[in-house]
């Protein structure tokens, strides 16, 4: 009888034979593709030891999906080297919703190449090759992979660079045990292998036919422009064909909603090359939406007790040294300008200047909470590869506010700000969200004492919990000066966007030596609470475009009403209707072009105008108009007073039509 060991499965102890594997424990459930052993992901073939805690990981869980996609990346690399044996391997990790693999090849991949590679991948998958882990020494790996220069470079990396490479490459380097995963055919022969730390699914069969190669692009080796340029193939893999189809449908819908495409079609904004990458120009129609956003949030800030301030676009270097930003953000700030013996920076954040306003005179506890707000234009040097329409720009405007409070007032102020934020998002039609709490980790990028961080985190966590919303932890995601709450919204097609943020800051008040006179006459340091409701106007604008697919609610629409006459003789009548609407603050135009009536209707539909008012002889004679709504439905012969009232009510109520 073989020796027994005890393992922990599903909260209970189980006596099993030595050399038992997770596959032996969970083999009846084909959805289990990997196991978590003592908190670490392991292959199902991993032999268990005395006292191990074992959990099954299913293919539809995040970890299971990542393992599936990593295995699909290996199959892709195997296929590429079958088709082109001269191709050299880079790295191939899983990423959000898919995977990629980098290759050094003589010619870039084209769409026909991807179709051919998919067929080769399917053949490999259908063979049911198994992924088998093999430990290997550094010298053995270098000899075995002598024709793979990028893999050899990874093996040779040491220290911090090794850790960085291992994270992206899924390779254990820098003194750790190296492992290779061999793909074995059914007869036990090796079909292909790759340096990798794993784990992997047991068999390629589990990938099935629920995968697709999406596109190819150039990518620098290890992300540095100093390194060779490789060719990257992106793919996706899912537990089932239905899951793949649903994902591709989501992508198609997202493409229809792409704010860059709609921005051009609706004449909202552009990014002229003459100005520079990541710097947006709002056109008149986009300017209307931007102005409505600004007017709304300015009014709401004043209602919530904020005082409007303004600060310049550039400042001397010393200000960002005092605030503590420069050492942390220098790489994402535009280079300094030398003037009159001083270095000036384009402003990358507004908070240091607000601190100077607070410090400009003595402050009393009677003034607190003291709330400052501005539309602050800031500039950040994002790399060209990450600049993306309005959602990642180099010049942005923040609806930035800072509350200066006593430590005792901080919990109430944070609750007040959260209520403000959630109400604002609801008014813009965004009502599906959760909260994320970003805290410090063990790295050395954070300043302040453990006690300060613990108290700040406690206050934020309690305020977030009191909302009743889902709260997700984000360890290590805090700013260097304090923890933060961010609101993560889900748009109309289920994508998640980080929007508003609230941050607790005990460091900048100390750095700027901010003080107020307390009730007992002593000088005390305030707590500073940062909050941005939109985050940035540009990003929020882009999210709204995609959320509404360009069909904005009437209150935000650049043109709220378009009058279309059945014939030219009714232009004057619709002009009178338009004048009445303008008196009520409605943005209205009349199409007096030479286009035929059907084309005018099509143009209005493409422009996504909420209300189209049509007038012919019956309407004019009755003092009425006919409605054509954005969804194509119609309502004829509506008396003019009723028509005006309906439009005004829809605009004032901020409803979608």
Known catalytic residues? 351, 380, 398, 400, 402, 484, 530
Q: Which helix (H) or strand (E) holds 262?
A: helix 259-265
126 Cβ contact list (under 8 Å, min separation 6): 205
| DSSP strand pairing (337-339 vs 342-346) | antiparallel
| DSSP strand pairing (342-346 vs 314-316) | antiparallel
Burial 277-302 (b: 16+ CB within 10 A, else e): ebebebeebbebbbebbeebbbebbe
Distances in Å between the Cα of 394 and the Cα atoms of 223, 398, 538 are 20, 12, 10
Distance (Å, rounded) from C-alpha 73 to C-alpha 71? 5
DSSP lists the bridge partners of residue 94 as 99
Distance (Å, rounded) from C-alpha 604 to C-alpha 602? 5
314 Cβ contact list (under 8 Å, min separation 6): 337, 344, 345, 346, 347
Known binder of ligand: residue 152?
Answer: no
Q: Mind giving me the DSSP string for 559-607?
A: SSEEEEESSGGGHHHHHHHHHHHHHTT--EEE--SSS-HHHHHHHHHHT
Residue bearing tokens 């007790």: 305
Radius of gyration of the chain (CA): 30
Helix %, strand %, coil % of the chain (to 5): 35, 30, 35
Known binder of ligand: residue 8?
Answer: no
Token pair of 539, please?
């990003």
| Three-class DSSP category at 384 | coil
104 contacts 87 by C-beta, under 8 angstroms: yes
Distance (Å, rounded) from C-alpha 519 to C-alpha 531? 27
**Angle between helical axes of 571-583 and 640-652 (0-180°, round to 10):** 40
Token pair of 202, please?
């047991």
Question: Residues annotated as binding site?
Answer: 351, 402, 530
Q: Which segments are annotated as binding site for Zn(2+)?
A: 351, 402, 530
């Amino acid at each position: 009888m073989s020796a027994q060991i005890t393992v922990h499965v599903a909260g209970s102890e189980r006596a099993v034979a030595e050399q038992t594997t997770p596959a032996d424990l969970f083999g009846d459930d084909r959805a289990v593709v990997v196991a978590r052993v003592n908190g670490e992901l392991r292959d199902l073939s991993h032999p268990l030891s005395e006292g191990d805690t074992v959990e099954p990981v299913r293919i539809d869980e995040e970890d299971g999906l990542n393992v599936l996609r990593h295995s699909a990346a290996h199959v892709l690399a195997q296929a590429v080297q079958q088709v082109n044996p001269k191709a050299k391997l880079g790295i191939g990790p899983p990423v959000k919703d898919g995977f990629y693999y980098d290759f050094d090849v003589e010619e870039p991949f084209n769409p026909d190449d991807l179709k051919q590679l998919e067929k080769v991948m399917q053949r490999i998958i259908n063979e049911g090759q198994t992924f088998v882990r093999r430990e290997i020494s550094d010298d053995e790996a270098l000899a075995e992979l002598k024709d793979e220069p990028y893999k050899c470079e990874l093996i040779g990396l040491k220290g911090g660079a090794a850790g960085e490479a291992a994270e992206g490459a899924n390779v254990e380097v820098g003194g750790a045990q190296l492992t290779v995963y061999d793909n074995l055919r059914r007869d036990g022969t090796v079909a292909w292998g790759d340096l990798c730390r794993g784990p992997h699914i047991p068999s390629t069969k589990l990938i099935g036919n629920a995968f697709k190669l999406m596109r190819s692009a150039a990518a620098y080796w290890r992300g540095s422009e100093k390194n060779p340029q490789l060719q990257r193939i992106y793919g996706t893999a899912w537990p089932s064909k239905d899951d793949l189809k649903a994902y591709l449908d989501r992508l198609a819908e997202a493409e229809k909603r792409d704010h860059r495409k709609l921005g051009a079609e609706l004449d909202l904004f552009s990014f002229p090359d003459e100005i520079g990458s990541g710097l947006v120009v709002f056109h008149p129609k986009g300017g209307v939406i931007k102005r409505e956003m600004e007017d709304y949030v300015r009014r709401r800030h004043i209602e919530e007790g904020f005082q409007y301030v303004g600060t310049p676009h550039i400042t001397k270097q010393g200000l960002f040294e005092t605030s503590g930003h420069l050492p942390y953000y220098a790489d994402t700030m535009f280079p300094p300008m030398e003037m009159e013996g001083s270095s000036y920076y384009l402003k990358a954040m507004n908070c240091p200047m607000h601190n100077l306003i607070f410090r400009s005179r003595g402050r009393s506890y009677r003034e607190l909470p003291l709330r400052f707000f501005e539309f602050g234009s800031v500039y950040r040097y994002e790399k060209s590869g990450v600049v993306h329409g309005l959602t990642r720009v180099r010049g942005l405007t923040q609806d930035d506010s800072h509350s200066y409070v006593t430590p005792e007032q901080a919990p109430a102020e944070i609750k007040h700000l959260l209520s403000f934020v959630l109400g604002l998002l609801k008014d813009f039609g965004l009502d599906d969200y959760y909260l994320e709490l970003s805290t410090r980790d063990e790295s050395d990028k954070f300043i302040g004492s453990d006690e300060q961080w613990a108290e700040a985190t406690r206050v934020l966590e309690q305020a977030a919990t009191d909302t009743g919303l889902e709260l997700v932890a984000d360890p290590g995601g805090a700013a260097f000066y304090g923890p933060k709450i961010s609101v993560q919204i889900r748009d109309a097609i289920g994508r998640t966007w980080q929007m508003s943020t609230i941050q607790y800051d005990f460091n900048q008040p100390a750095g700027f030596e901010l003080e107020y006179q307390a009730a007992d006459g002593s000088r005390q340091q305030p707590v500073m609470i940062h909050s941005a409701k939109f985050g940035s106007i540009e990003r929020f604008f882009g999210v709204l475009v995609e959320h509404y697919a360009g069909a904005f609610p009437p209150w935000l629409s650049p043109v709220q009403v378009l009058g279309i006459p059945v014939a030219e003789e009714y232009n004057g009548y619709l002009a009178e209707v338009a004048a009445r609407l303008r008196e009520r603050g409605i943005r209205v135009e009349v199409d007096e072009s030479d286009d035929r009536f059907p084309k005018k209707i099509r143009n209005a539909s493409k422009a996504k105008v909420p209300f189209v008012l049509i007038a012919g002889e019956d309407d004019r004679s009755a003092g009425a108009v006919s409605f054509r709504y954005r969804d194509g439905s119609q309502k004829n012969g509506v008396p003019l007073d009723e028509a005006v009232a309906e439009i005004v009510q829809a605009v004032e109520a901020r409803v979608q039509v």
